[in-house]
Amino acid sequence: MRFNAKDLALLARCPSGCFDKEGKLKICSVVGDEKLIEPRERWCRLKGNLLFLMKNKSSDASEVVILERCWVVEFRSKTGVSIVLKFQSGEPDLYLEAASKPDCESWAVALGEANSEGLRNKIQHLRRLVMEIKEERSSDEARQFLPTSQLDSLGEPQFTSIQRIANEPKLEFSLACKDLVTATRDRKLNTFIQVSVVHPAEHILTRYSSTEIVEGTKDPLFLTGVTFPPEYPIYEETKIKLTVYDVKDKSQDTVRTSVLPDHKEPRADVGRSFLGCATFRVVDLVKSKEQQLTLTLRTSDGGKTVGTIEVNLVKMGELEEGETDHITADTQDQKCALVRECTATEGLSGKDNLPSLNAVLRNPVCKLYRFPTSDNKWMRIREQMAETTLSFHVPKELINLHIKEDMRRNQELKDLGELAPHWDNMRKSVIAHCDQMLSMYQDTLAELGKHTGSSFKSSCSKGEKTLEFIPINLHLQRMHVHSPRLKDALYDVITVGAPAAHFQGFKNGGLRKLLSKFEAERRNTGYQCIYYSPENTAKAKEVLSNINHLQPLISSHADLLLSSASQRSPDSLKNSLKMLSEKTELFVHAFKDQLVRSALLALYTARPGCVLKKPAVHRNSAEEGGDVQHQDHPSQIKRQDSIPHHSEYDEEEWDRVWANVAKSLNCLIAMVDRLLEKDDISNIKEGENEPSAADSKVLHTGGDWYEQLYPLVITLKDCMGEVVTRAKQSMAFVLLQELACGLPQCLMLTLRRDIVFSQALAGLVCGFIIKLHTGLHDQGFLQQLHTVGLLVQYEGLLSTYSEEAGMLEDMAVGISDLQKVMFKVIEAKSEDFLPIITGRREHYIIEVQLPAKMFELLPQEIKEGKLLRMYPVLFNVGINEQQTLAERFGDTTLQENINQENLELLKEYYKLFTEKMPPDCLPHFQEQNDLKGLLESLHQNIQAKKRKNVEIMWLAATICRKLNGVRFTCCKSAKDRTSMSVTLEQCSILRDEHQLHKDFFIRALDCMRSRQTQGALNESDDPETGCLTDNKPTSRHFYPVALLLVSSHLLVVWLILSLALLLAKYQ
């Protein structure tokens, strides 16, 4: 082989950027019988297959090694590890030693790729790939030369589908490697497999998933498998590529396969190196006799074998009965990981694959784990997380109801009639503020109508005004456990960010503090208006709601009565009269309240020109239901604790007005009875003989029922109209006082309460629907649902320090307001299965729609429309470092009070449950502890006031599950603390209820919490949204709180130093 020395010398002096690799190496050769000469330090430069050896970086090349027909091996000595270049020509071996072990490995890879033999193998491998692609595209190229008519007749290329059971994954397989080769013998591999798919129609390589990292073995057994959901476009012709990587530093590597372009391999500088790859067709795996493939792993050039990889077809139900002893020894140093992770569009499970549930849930992410039990059996755990469309549907429905309610209230205020100047100015001011608030609701609803994209609100958006009604990160977390010897079990937890008004902030606290402060100011501060208690205000809203609901019903039943009279139908007339009587009695009963009487008097005194002729006679405010004082001049009106009695006002007039309704109804009933009686007489006489002239006259007199009933119906409607007018005006006057006493704080508090309630209600509706679908075949649960109600337990993880204390106050009020929500199950009449919300503030009814087949499974009481009650309870335990500060130097009274109050509510529900339900309703596999004992233990833990007592959370969750309740877990954003709590709860359930092997508890917990298994995100990214977060310490001072929490003394020192720094800064 000829070489030009000048050209080689010129090439060796090229700039550093022209070389593939360069650096210092110690060079030594063999002399005689395996004797090494003294190593010489040389500056080495690699260009193509030429290795230049130089005395120093600036000198000329003293020697050139041609990497032709040679191979790279490792050589171990007492001093270290070297690279050995062996030549087929018989030339002496060349030993190269780098300064460090990683540098030595990188040189070994570079020299191996530079070898001409390796380049030749790589070219051959690429040629084979090109030929395979040409063969697959040959049919497409032939189609280009066919006539158009023949081309149309061929249609689209047809692919062979994989036949599997409906709603089951199309393809599942597990992976394992054997005899993996390393560059150095003492190198322990940390390997994972990346799975890519080549679609036959597109010929594009798409990265699909990856396994977990198995550490410290050359024969890794991956507990992570690959699953293709039913809707995934995979066929027998599809090719799957398996690429094995070695992770050098796991602490600095998170398998970010999805963030890299599909056509590029991960770079070596991200902490991993390429070992080998293999490709197979799906048909080869599916139709293999053993349903197993053993593939050879080859390097990128296709020449060198680096091990084998086993692909085993997996069918659901396998391995459950198998023993685990044969893999236990192999996995002692391996962390358990998920067997499946995929994003699917199907329902959460085969049983739940129903249109009604699919209308609520979106984008489920499925994972499958296999863990050993204490008796060396396998149990399968399917973990699923799904978004819900209710995150936006429920708030939009609520805002729409708020708008209608506020518009109706504003109109009622305008219909109060003429008022004195003082009251009229007050009304104008209230209406102006209400119109501004109404416009805000309308703008929010319009913005939500424009929303597209994800069906949940991420934590990055919690401060956006347009999304303040939307709950944060509302998801369903479901764990389906299949044990070898136990019945399958489902465990559902709804995870959501704490319902709170983040946009409005927490500078002045949350709702609990703000409402208490506002009510105290209304009581203790003089206002130029009348004070009505919150109970009386709520009663006024209820009366107005009853009026708006009952008046149209009474009118419609009265019209049906006249219609039956015109048709002379006795049976229809009786039924119409019965319905009219029932609704009218409810209508009359609604006004038998002292509040209406006192409000009418207050409204009378507010009319213009009204002069009191007698001094005010004070009455008991508890009897009157309100307070007012009227003086000669409106501007001198001051608040008092009683209603004045006006000498010219006849208090008995109201009694006569609403009593006229009852009298009109009685007259109507008497007339109907008389008409029916005469009709019976006429029928009897017609059956006997021809009627006489006198009898005919009597029959003719009672012949036209419509003409005789019409005046009475009109009288009833007139009397009812007068009652409605007066009652509406009086109750609207009460609402005017409520709004006028606290403008604009009253409206802002209403807005804040609406925001928090909207977030809480969206989660509650989601939890109820999921629980209803899960318990459709559980008759005990259905009986409990309509007899007692549904327990809803919220687990709060908020601290009582700084802003989170305000969030906790908002959350406590929002969850308490859920007690006023009732559910009703109806049969769906269309394909739209989303829930329907009706009602008003403080009284909502959620109508859940079910398909006809599912609706038939319900008890008769629920099918008849019985309202189902909710019993929400909240238990909070702060667990972060801020809670440590609150416990050491702050106040935890808020948390203690909330836990104590909700413990009483839980005891009330348990008492009601034991009184109305038989004891055999509880799930049999959870009968380990007595519920009464659990409640007593919960009571003791709450009274103990122990710091960060997480036992409260575990006891409350256990009681909830035993009482067939719905579980919620909440923190600030439903991310870190929530995920830690949920995964701990899941593993604890597996250990206590399903015999998880004790040695695998921590491994199972690590597996469920692994960021790697939850997707390929950058470490600085938001797990839910991918938006960037600041990589800054949480503390602004020099000492991290996490370190100082080790000792309370260090914490005190840190606080003193921080205070000193602040004082020095501002001086």
What residues are labeled active site? Answer: 971
- Quick one: CA dihedral 265, 1022, 1038, 878, positive or negative? negative
CA–centroid distance for 1013 within its chain: 19
Structure tokens at 112: 């191996």
Sequence-distant (6+) residues with CB within 8 A of 533 are none
- Per-residue DSSP letter, 30: E
Of 898, 913, 903, nearest to 935 by C-alpha is 903
The amino acid occupying position 407 is M
Quote the CA–CA distance of 936 and 988 in Å, as a whole number.
21
Half-sphere exposure of residue 83: CA atoms within 13 angstroms, side-chain side:
25
* 963: three-class secondary structure by DSSP: coil
Three-state DSSP class for residue 277: strand
State yes or no: cis peptide before 851, omega within 30 of 0: no
Dihedral class, residue 625 (left if φ above 0, else alpha if ψ from -120 to 50, else beta): left
SS3 696: helix
Token readout for 826 is 């109806």
> What distance in Å separates the CA atoms of residue 258 and residue 450, rounded to the nearest whole number?
30
Tokens of 167: 């709603």
Is 856 in a helix, a strand, or coil? coil
Give the Cα separation of 285 and 283 in Å (integer): 5
In sign, the C-alpha dihedral spanning 342, 348, 353, 357 is negative
Q: What 3-state class would DSSP assign to 924?
A: helix
Asked whether the CA dihedral 1039, 1040, 1043, 1047 is positive or negative, the reply is positive
- CA–CA distances in Å: residue 112 to residues 76, 108, 661: 18, 6, 102
User: What residues contact 80, with CB distance under 8 A and at least 6 apart?
Assistant: 97, 101
Residues comprising the chain, all counted: 1067
Give the Cα separation of 404 and 407 in Å (integer).
5
Q: What is the rounded CA–CA span in Å between residue 899 and residue 897?
A: 5
SS (H, E, C) 134-195: HHHHHHHHHHCCCCHHHHHHHCCCCCCECCCCCCCCCEEEEEEEECCCCCCCCCCCEEEEEE
As a whole number of angstroms, the distance between CA 525 and CA 742 comes to: 11
Query: What value does the CA radius of gyration of the chain take, rounded to a whole number of Å?
Result: 40
DSSP state of 1028: B
**Whole-Å CA distances, 725 to 550, 619, 657:** 14, 26, 11
> For residues 346 and 977, what is the distance between their CA atoms, to the nearest angstrom?
29
**How are beta strands 35-36 and 21-31 bridged, if at all?**
antiparallel
Q: Specify the residue for token string 């530093």.
A: 249
Looking at the DSSP bridge assignments, the partners of residue 26 are 41, 97
**DSSP secondary structure string, 218-271?**
SS-B-S--EEE-TTS--BTT-EEEEEEEEES-GGG----GGGS-TTSPPPGGGT
Instruction: Determine the longest span between alpha carbons in the chain, in angstroms.
Output: 151
Handedness of CA 1049, 1050, 1053, 1059 (dihedral sign): negative
Amino acid in position 656:
R
Q: Coil, strand or helix: which one is 99?
A: coil
